[in-house]
Amino acid sequence: MSAPGAGAPGEEKFNPWSVVHLVFDHLAGQGLHPVLGEVGDPSEPAAELLRAMGIVPGDPSWARGQDATQIQDRLAEIRSLFDPVPGGDGTPASGER
């Protein structure tokens, strides 16, 4: 994955927090109980792992760059899927599916 305006052509970048999220979910799925924040910031070890695999750690602030509006709009769209349906009883409003 590359951020807009990423470094050299062909240089792969990836957000270290995405690695943290992936590992956290995997460990929890294996029945383990990972905890964030009690022993430090996990993003730097995740960044080191990316470097060890030849991938440049990306800037976690990508969502604040030139695509911020597009990203925020997409997140709002996703959040709306989880918003209560008008009427509050869990059934779609008339005319909606």
Report pLDDT digits (tens) over 42-76: 888 888 998 999 988 887 666 555 566 777 787 78
Average pLDDT over residues 6-34: 82
Average the pLDDT over 17-39 and give the result.
Answer: 88
pTM of the model as a whole: 0.50
Q: Which long-range contacts (CB under 8 A, 24 or more apart) does 49-58 make?
A: 49/19, 50/14, 50/16, 50/19, 54/12, 55/12, 55/13, 55/14, 56/7, 56/11, 56/12, 56/13, 56/14, 57/13, 57/14, 57/15, 57/16, 58/1, 58/3, 58/6, 58/13, 58/14, 58/15, 58/16
The pLDDT-based confidence of 5 (bands split at 50, 70, 90) is very low
**So where are the chain's domains?**
13-80
